[in-house]
Amino acid sequence: MNPNQKRVAIFLLAGWILSPQLAVAQPPAVDDAARLEFFERKVRPILANNCYNCHSANNKSLGGLRVDDRNGLIQGGKRGSAVVPGDPEKSLLLQAVHQTGKLKMPPNNKLTDGEIADLTHWIKSGAAWPKVEAPNTSDRYRAKYEKLRKEHWAWQPLQKVQVPTVKDNSWARTEIDRFVLAKLEDKGLTPVKDSERAALIRRVTFDLTGLPPTPEATEAFLADQLPNALEKVVDRLLASPAYGERWGRHWLDVARYGESTGSSRNLPYPQAWRYRDYVIDSFNRDKPYDKLIHEQLAGDLLPAASDKERDENLIATGFLAIGVKDVNQRFPIRFFMDNIDEQIDTVTRSFLALTASCARCHDHKFDPVPTTDYYALAGIFHSTEHCSGLRSMMGGGGLAYYDSSKLLRLTPPAKDTKVDPTLPEKINQLTKAVEAAREDFAAIFGTDKGKEKGPDGRPLQMVARLKMQKLQLELNALTDPSLQGPVALGIRDAKKVGDIELRVRGEAEKLGPVVPRGFLSVINVPGAKPINPAQSGRLELAQWLTHPNNPVTSRVIVNRVWKHLFGQGIVSTVDNFGINGDVPSHPELLDYLATNFVRDGWSNKRLIRTVVLTRAYQLGSEATPAHTAKDPANRLVWRHNPRRLDAEEIRDAALAVSGNLDFRKPENVPSKDFKVIELRNNGPDAQRLHDYAQKSIHRSIYLPLLRGITPRSLEVFDFAEQGMVTGNRETTTVPTQALYLLNDTFVQRQGLALAERLLKRSEMDDKERIEFAYQLALGRDATAKELERAKAYLSQYEADARKVFSKIANQKPATPPKTVEAPAPKKQPGGIVVNPDDVDTSDIPVQEEKIGLTDPRVAAWASFTQAILGSAEFRYLR
């Protein structure tokens, strides 16, 4: 280690982070050719020859400092600005090259007095630097963009549509039905038969709550011959808490919900669950969708009548804070701009089904989003402080990435309100002690003295470091808000708000012209409020999105709802309404739904209720060759699409029918207590999460969902990609799913529990037990053939199992069931600066335990019930 590296290492270790100075000065007028020439002739060679090796984009950029870029110098590294234009006194660069203080640069060398004088002169005269040319490519696209804005269906105002007339007036029950039927009639198609009622209650119960109907509910529905029988079921389901757990999960897919950063360094978001609970609660209370948008984008800027409401508004902004983040970055500005990009991507895809983040580096190649529009939005998020409890740095272990100043304090419970009057003094004392300890450590680290063994046999530098760390932890305990009361992840307006410069080719440091904050020009929203210059502009962005004249937001959400109820959207590409997306199969219906949705107060429950009470929703799933030939993908809704249950539904249904399901929200989830320390996919914390998930009996939405550590029960059935907005999950059919259903301990355990549930019913005989199993798991009666098959299966299996078990018991020596031992957690590589590529992040095999059964009758029943859980019918809805 050369002295320079050593010094940087000390800073990384000690966590001396000055807040990055994001104030960027405009480059001076470049007409002063002489100053530029001076820079090129005198200054750049000094920087290139003495500094680039350690401080440039293509090399190491130690300490987060780049000297090959004007903004890199002005923003500086971890110590702050290296150059303050016009003020040599304040420029750290000069202090370093004078080598009068602690900081001595270049290492092992000193610039000549002449060189120092040139640097000083350059800074004093404004630090001239050649201006970066922003390519004006917008001209290339202007005409194309103008045409698309006027013509592409998605961005046109909502059309006032007439409910179409149809030939067959007896079929349609609702106006929506008329839209559907009219299209079918155009194609010469008629809808298939209505669904059987048993299939219908199963369908609607899963669709609205993610759970199977109970046998009692099915029975009651089948017995209810009144015309409003389904309406009563729907109202009951919409009022149940399970509704929010199902539809909240749909939103969490869109919100790319994840409880960790998920990038090269996976750091937990221990408070992300508050946002999840907020979403569930909001759906259960049927919070209007426009309000939901306002709270998620600008909850911190909304008025609140109570502490509770204020807390809720703050938690809602977690939407913007819980994305994927790459904290392992040298340059704070890149971390900052990457997070802004992630927010823009999430906001535009989720609410507008538009891929605006493509315009970060260049004008959008397909959709009319010029780069200037991107930076108009970026200005809003640039004026926003990201509070996800994290900072970026290059390398670092332990709590190095944790920044407790980036958390939102919530209202503490009443009992905790007493404040220790001596607290400020304690913090003051400790801060001084930490400083002193740090200086002691810095003084001996890497020196011969530091390597000497102390009285306890440990090197003195280690003793000094431990002392420093201990004091730091004590200080953290007094200042970390998460240790003092409830906190949330979210955002707040930055101390400095304002417009920002376009970044040429998306490079964070390459500034182009300033772009006024604003919205996307692709959607014309007459009457939208301009941005309040005193704030970030998030509130006005939310208002623009939900303005009655914005046609896109409402189209996108009603299409998402339609997709979840019919299996495919009216626009099949639910996250992309742009040029590369699909066109609507029923454009008039889409506008009808969107218009009514806004008119009815943006109520999701009302929309869902209206849609499921249509005759179209209640169609059977039969396919005829005639229909299939004309419309194989069922775009026109001549039948109801069969669908495989989502991962959560499969798991929750297994728990529900086994009788194990605990409907309450779990309290003891291990990830809530995680420190903000890097997680390894094969580390002990990941193991704890897997073990927890494997044994949990709560609804799947409450499982810990740290990125890259997806619970197996969810991963195997195409869980949402947590990296970005996911309005449409995949549905694969692969042998890993069959292996899961045959061998996974979770499935085995639910099968056994269901078997025990049946066997406990002493008043039943085996035939009744089989019937009950079919009703519980499949929502229907078993046929005579199925009863016979099941009875034969149980007796044969029991007989075989008896033979096999006795054979095993007679084997000598008796070998206990072998369990696969999880490999011992590997040691985190030591040292201070860790290259993330050297950290083993491979998955750990989940500890596989064996459920050993010894009673042949129980084994037979457990095998039978597990077979039902493994059958295709259990996981497909018709």
Helix (H) or strand (E) holding 634: none
Is residue 48 within the footprint of other proteins (CB under 8 A)?
A: no
Q: Which of residues 161 and 361 has its CB atom nearest to other proteins in the complex? A: 361
580 touches other proteins (CB under 8 A): yes
- Residue 323 near residue 339, CB atoms below 8 Å: yes
Task: State how far the Cα of 51 lies from the Cα of 54, in Å rounded to an integer.
Answer: 6
Is residue 838 close enough to count as binding other proteins by CB under 8 A?
Answer: yes
Closer to other proteins by CB, 336 or 602: give it: 336
User: Considering the rule CB under 8 A, would residue 739 count as an interface residue with other proteins?
Assistant: yes
Residue with tokens 């970390």: 480
Q: Does 629 bind other proteins (CB under 8 A)?
A: yes
Shortest CB 841 distance to other proteins, Å: 6
Residues within window 364-383 making contact with other proteins, judged by CB under 8 A: 365-366
Enter the tokens of residue 479. 């200042």
Work out whether 863 is an interface residue with other proteins (CB under 8 A).
Answer: yes
Among 107, 599, 840, 854, binds other proteins (CB under 8 A): 840
Q: Which residues between 744 and 763 bind other proteins (CB under 8 A)?
A: 744-745, 748
Shortest separation between residue 506's beta carbon and other proteins, angstroms: 7
Q: Which residues partner with 491 through β-bridges?
A: 386
Beta strands 490-493 and 500-503 are unpaired
The number of CA neighbours under 13 Å toward the Cβ of 133 is 3
**Site for other proteins (CB under 8 A): which residue of 264, 484, 521, 524?**
264
The amino acid that residue 381 corresponds to is F
- Which stretch, 114-122, 372-380, 479-487, 734-742, contacts other proteins (CB under 8 A)? 734-742
User: Nearer to other proteins by C-beta: 523 or 725?
Assistant: 725
In this complex, which beta carbon is closest to other proteins, that of residue 455 or of residue 735? 735
Closer Cβ to other proteins, 429 or 871, answer by number = 871
How many helices and strands, by DSSP H and E, does the chain display? 34, 8
- Least Å distance between CB 255 and other proteins? 17
Q: How far apart are CA 750 and CA 651, in angstroms?
A: 9
Among residues 731, 795, 806, 854, the one that binds other proteins under rule CB under 8 A: 731
Q: Which window, 466-474, 491-499, 502-510, 543-551, contacts other proteins (CB under 8 A)? A: 502-510
Residue among 540 and 798 whose Cβ is closer to other proteins: 798
The reply on whether position 163 binds other proteins by CB under 8 A is no
Sign for the CA dihedral angle at 269, 274, 280, 282 comes to negative
Q: Is 58 in the site for other proteins (CB under 8 A)?
A: yes
Find tokens 């200054």 and name the residue: 43
CA atoms within 13 A on the CB side of 487: 25
| 3-class secondary structure per residue, 129-165 | CCCCCCCCCHHHHHHHHHHHHHHCHHHCCCCCCCCCC
Q: Does 846 bind other proteins (CB under 8 A)?
A: yes
Per CB under 8 A, 712 contacts other proteins: yes
- The rounded Cα 838 to chain-centroid distance in angstroms is 26
* 735 touching other proteins, by CB under 8 A: yes
Q: Which residues contact 540 (CB under 8 A, 6 or more apart)?
A: 528, 529, 530, 531, 532
Query: What letter represents residue 45's amino acid?
Result: P
Q: Which is nearer to other proteins, 10 or 724 (CB)?
A: 724
Q: Please, which residue, 223 or 872, has the CB nearer to other proteins?
A: 872
Per CB under 8 A, contacts with other proteins among 641-700 are 642-644
Choose one: 271-279, 537-545, 548-556, 792-800; the region binding other proteins (CB under 8 A): 792-800
Query: Does residue 743 belong to the site contacting other proteins (CB under 8 A)?
Result: yes
Minimum CB distance to other proteins, residue 730 (Å): 4
845 binds other proteins (CB under 8 A): yes
Binding residue count for other proteins, defined by CB under 8 A: 88
Instruction: Give yes or no for residue 809 binding other proteins (CB under 8 A).
Output: no
Give buried/exposed letters for 425-455 (b at 16+ CB in 10 A, else e): eeeeebeebbeebbebbbebbbeeebeeeee
Of the residues 156, 524, 573, 603, which one makes contact with other proteins according to CB under 8 A: 573
477 vs 742 by CB, closer to other proteins? 742
- Beta carbons of 362 and 374 less than 8 angstroms apart: no
- From CA 479, how far away is CA 461, in angstroms rounded? 27
Half-sphere exposure of residue 317, counting CA atoms within 13 Å on the CB side? 31
Q: Does 361 bind other proteins (CB under 8 A)?
A: yes
721 touches other proteins (CB under 8 A): yes
Instruction: Extract the tokens encoding 545.
Output: 């999105």
Give SS3 for 439: helix
Q: Which residue in 422, 733, 810, 811 binds other proteins (CB under 8 A)? A: 733
Contact (CB, 8 A) for 592 and 161: yes
850 binds other proteins (CB under 8 A): yes
